Structure 1
Amino acid sequence: MADHHHKKMNENTKQRIETEFIKLLESEGFERISVKQIAVCANINRGTFYLHYIDKYDVI
């Protein structure tokens, strides 16, 4: 049960990162996006971002 909850939380976090990345991509352009911006917009810390992705190129 706890594993299922953890998996769901990870999926939700990853989805937020991807959603906010797309919004930033549309408004800022890829070159201007930083991992910090993605994290702030997704309401997570940078460490959490790096648990899911290596860098912004990895989100693509």
Structure 2
Amino acid sequence: MLDGVFLYGRKCNATGDYPADLDASGGHTTTTQYTDGLEEYHYHIINEIYSTTGSYLAFAGPYQGY
């Protein structure tokens, strides 16, 4: 998350459903509620697994970023 790319919840604003086109880092390029119709690369939380500290594990794969 330090790469400056936004992280959104599990559902995609562009489709209203769970995205099916995520890359290995849990990201894809679509519109968001904040991009005024422009497509932008962003991440989604892709699971509900918790760490031992009770926080979400946001990514399941290697970092892709910019």
TM-score, normalised to structure 2, is: 0.26
Structure (1 or 2) with the greater helix fraction: 1
More strand by share: 2
